[in-house]
């Protein structure tokens, strides 16, 4: 499963957003409900349409995978720029920068040791690669796998659109997400036991998904979206601080 699809599918960032407008209600100070008369499913349709057309967004949160929590904080725009970080549940943290058709990852020692270690890797090989990358950035080519996958906004939103069921939702009591009024849409429990709940901005012009909470199942988690349409300022690291992936693999193989 592609990294971007995993992000959206497991975090259940697939169901909901709202079309909202603010105004004064008659006889009170509460703004009129921008979703009055709309079913939860109809709100979800508007939400997905609005969110998939943004030119940039930031994804922050964590989701469980194989009983461990993966944490990300990544901003990405439609120019294939991205910038952020991720934490490996097995240990360590890495920064990620994407620009100019390539992605760069810089992890701490714990991150590289936990990431590079595998069934076919010896402790010596893992340690050698970790030492080689200490204080340096690993460069990966553009593609659908690895860190570069986080930099493809079009692919990410396309997966969100395709993976989002829009039937059988229920609107719950409204809530607040970091100061923004939000409509809350709850999905039906899925076959794997997961139940997604979506928080949608009550804004007719920008009915974006603000938060997705997944409970139950094997992969619960919470993800928040923000910084919509905000360009990402990403600059490639200095060449003398970069280790090309191909060269790295040759070094790891003892070439």
Summarised one tens digit per residue, pLDDT across range 108-117 is 888 887 776 5
Contact by Cβ (8 Å): 193, 216:
yes
- Among 233, 194, 215, which residue's Cα sits nearest to residue 99? 233
Q: pTM of the predicted model, to two decimals?
A: 0.78
| Neighbouring residues of 136: CB distance < 8 A, sequence distance ≥ 6 | 106, 241, 242, 243
pLDDT of residue 227: 96
pLDDT of residue 62: 85
pLDDT of residue 43: 95
> What is the residue range of 244's domain?
3-252
Of all residues in the chain, the percent with pLDDT exceeding 90 is 42
**Mean pLDDT computed over every residue of the chain:** 79
Of 94-98, 115-119, 182-186, 228-232, the least confident:
115-119
pLDDT of residue 140: 78
Q: What is the mean pLDDT of residues 166-190?
A: 94
- Among 212, 228, 232, 224, which residue's Cα sits nearest to residue 76? 232
- Among 112, 154, 150, which residue's Cα sits nearest to residue 130? 112
Q: Indicate the number of domains in the chain.
A: 1
- Among 9, 15, 35, which residue's Cα sits nearest to residue 183? 35
Contact by Cβ (8 Å): 199, 188:
no
The CATH number given to whatever domain includes residue 117 is: 2.50.20.20
Most confident of 41-50, 62-71, 187-196: 41-50
Give helix 3-11 / helix 153-162 axis angle, nearest 10°.
Answer: 40
pLDDT 10s digits, 56-78: 999 999 877 666 788 999 999 99
Residue carrying structure tokens 């709100």: 43
């Amino acid at each position: 499963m592609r990294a971007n699809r995993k992000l959206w599918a497991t975090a259940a960032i697939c169901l909901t957003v709202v079309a909202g407008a603010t105004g004064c209600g008659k006889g009170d100070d509460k703004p009129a409900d921008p979703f009055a008369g709309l079913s939860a499913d109809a709100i979800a349709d508007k939400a997905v349409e609005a969110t998939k057309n943004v030119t940039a967004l930031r994804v922050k949160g964590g989701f469980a995978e194989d009983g461990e929590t993966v944490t990300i904080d990544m901003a990405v725009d439609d120019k294939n720029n991205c910038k952020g970080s991720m934490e490996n549940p097995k240990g360590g943290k890495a920064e990620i920068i994407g620009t100019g058709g390539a992605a760069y990852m810089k992890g701490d020692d714990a991150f590289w040791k936990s990431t590079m270690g595998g069934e076919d890797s010896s402790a010596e090989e893992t340690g050698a690669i970790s030492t080689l990358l200490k204080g340096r950035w690993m460069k990966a080519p553009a593609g659908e796998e690895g860190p570069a996958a986080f930099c493809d906004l079009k692919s990410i939103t396309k997966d969100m659109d395709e993976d989002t069921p829009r039937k059988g939702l229920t609107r719950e009591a409204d809530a607040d997400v970091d100061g923004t009024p939000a409509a809350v849409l709850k999905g039906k429990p899925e076959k794997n036991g997961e139940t997604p709940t979506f928080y949608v901005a009550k804004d007719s012009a920008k009915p974006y998904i603000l938060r997705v909470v997944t409970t139950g199942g094997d992969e619960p988690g919470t993800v928040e979206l923000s910084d919509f349409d905000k360009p990402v300022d990403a600059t490639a690291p200095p060449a003398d601080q970069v280790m090309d992936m191909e060269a790295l693999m040759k070094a790891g193989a003892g070439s």
